[in-house]
């Protein structure tokens, strides 16, 4: 039995950035990302660090310096990981960003 008295586990909520709202971004399923992008997400989830992403475009929530880690995936594809457990994908060299749904 779980703490709320139920017998079924409650699914974990989607990570939210600790420094702002990203609800205006389109969401993309992790399973629909290119294989290299999925691998970058898994590497980051397993503790690998990327380069510091400075969010110069200002599209992602405005967080403190060093909050975001950048992973190069392909020629123009990038994965950005936030310290709060959230992930973003840009397929077009920072022109557009999508929030990654880790459960799909």
- Tokens for 13, please give them: 């909520």
Tell me the whole-structure pTM to 2 decimals: 0.81
3-state secondary structure of 45: helix
Quote the mean pLDDT of the chain.
87
- Tokens for 5, please give them: 């008295």
3-state secondary structure of 90: strand
Over residues 44-79, the pLDDT tens digits come to: 999 999 999 999 999 999 999 999 999 999 999 999
What's the chain's Rg over C-alpha atoms?
Answer: 15
User: What is the pLDDT averaged over residues 32-45?
Assistant: 97
- Tokens for 61, please give them: 């929530």
pLDDT on residue 100: 96
pLDDT on residue 11: 54
Domain 26-101: state its class. alpha beta
Where would I find the H helices in 2-99? 35-45
pLDDT on residue 15: 54
């Amino acid at each position: 039995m779980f703490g709320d008295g139920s017998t079924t586990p409650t699914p974990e909520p989607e990570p939210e950035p600790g420094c702002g709202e990203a609800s205006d971004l389109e969401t993309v399923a992790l399973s629909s990302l290119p294989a290299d992008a999925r691998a970058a997400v898994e590497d980051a989830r397993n503790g690998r660090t990327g380069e510091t992403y400075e969010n110069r475009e200002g599209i992602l929530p405005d967080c403190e310096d060093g909050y975001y880690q950048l992973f190069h995936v392909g020629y123009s594809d990038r994965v950005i990981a936030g310290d709060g457990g959230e992930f973003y994908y840009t397929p077009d060299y920072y022109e557009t960003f999508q929030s990654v749904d880790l459960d799909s």
